Chains A and B, each alone.
Chain A
Amino acid sequence: MELSSKLWYAGLALGTAAALVWGGWTAAGEGVCFALFAALTLGGGLICVFERSVVRSAFALLLTFGGVAGLFVLLESDFLAMAQLLIYVGGVLALLLFGVMLTPPDLKERKLPRVLAGLVVCGAALGWISWRMLQGASWIDTPVAAAPAPAGSAAREVGLSFLRPDQYLVPFELVAVLLTVALVGAVYIARRRRVDYAAPQAEEST
């Protein structure tokens, strides 16, 4: 590992520690948990963007997905947190690692200035947009409704919402059909076929 990477990871660790101290200072236990998960999320994203090798980026995305799952737990959405872990970490990330096998490592790519410039430009643009939106936002002034006392697990409410015909029954069935079609289609597209694409009149055989 070269010096710039060491400096980079050291800075990331220092930022995490600072976030933890700040969270404990402002909101005690919940603040520490929030700062930890937020640091996991953003630190994973930063490593993913800056890291040179694709494999390390994919594994850094594991931190991001785990941190987001933790944020979901803090937001009292336990079912969503488990779905996040199962689907993203178990499914999407495994698929991504298969995609990584297709890409040769490009270790000579000089991308640090480009990524830094992109970060500055995108951050400035999003900051400007959010600042302009916050000028006319009405949801800040509205008093925040007291959260209803959670009656047991949130998973029960989610399941009931899925099965009520006046709520989400139709989208639920539709998305089930869509997922089936998408996965069967993905298998169909990705199956191995012996076709010489360079030849103009190649005969297709599966």
Chain B
Amino acid sequence: MSLGAYLAVSAALFVLGVVAIVTRRNVIYVLMGIEMILNAANINLVAFQRFHGGVEDGRMLAIFVIILAAAEAAIVLAILLNAFQMLGTIKPSEADQLRE
């Protein structure tokens, strides 16, 4: 397959991630959307590395992205646990305690 096919899949996955972040009213969906966006970026990096040169840079950058995504997911879940204990909810629209 050509480079354009991979770029198209990556762009579609990016759009799905943005839609998951924007439209669903739930923090878990925001996290899922972020993971989808990072995956789309990874596809782009590896595809360009495969089709446009012999250096390892794209692949290595993708590995670092995966590592950072794992760290990010762990921290987000810890924060969510804490927020749930404090507020009793983890919906972004209902967490407005700072306003009072």
Q: Which residues of A contact B (CB under 8 A)?
A: 27, 30-31, 34, 38, 41-42, 45-46, 48-49, 54, 57-58, 61, 64-65, 68, 71-72, 74-77, 79-80, 83-84, 87-88, 91-92, 95-96, 98-100, 102-103, 106, 109, 111, 114-115, 117-119, 122-123, 126, 130, 139, 144-145, 147-148, 154, 157-158, 161-162, 167-168, 171, 175, 178-179, 182-183, 185-187, 189-190, 197
Give Cα A144–Cα B52 distance, bound, in whole angstroms: 6
Give Cα A92–Cα B66 distance, bound, in whole angstroms: 10
B41-55: contact bitstring with A at CB < 8 Å (1 yes, 0 no)? 011001101111110
Residues on A with beta carbons closer than 8 Å to the beta carbon of B22: 118, 122
B9 & A57 in contact (Cβ 8 Å cutoff): no
Which residue of A has the minimal Cβ distance to B53? A145
- Residue from B11, B46, B54, B56 in contact with A75 in the complex, judged by beta carbons closer than 8 Å: B46
A186 & B78 in contact (Cβ 8 Å cutoff): yes
Instruction: Answer whether A161 and B1 are a contact pair too, CB < 8 Å, given A119-B15, A144-B52, A187-B78.
Output: no
B19 at the interface (CB under 8 A from A): yes
- Could you tell me how many residues of chain B have their Cβ less than 8 Å away from some Cβ of chain A? 66
A190 & B77 in contact (Cβ 8 Å cutoff): yes
Residues on A with beta carbons closer than 8 Å to the beta carbon of B28: 54, 57-58, 96, 99-100, 102-103
B98 at the interface (CB under 8 A from A): no
A182 & B75 in contact (Cβ 8 Å cutoff): yes
Q: Within the complex, what minimum Cβ distance (angstroms) separates A92 from chain B?
A: 5
Residues on A with beta carbons closer than 8 Å to the beta carbon of B12: 42, 45
A-B contact pairs, 15 of them (CB 8 A): A27-B1, A34-B5, A41-B13, A41-B39, A61-B35, A77-B62, A79-B63, A95-B74, A96-B28, A111-B24, A130-B11, A145-B53, A175-B64, A175-B67, A179-B71
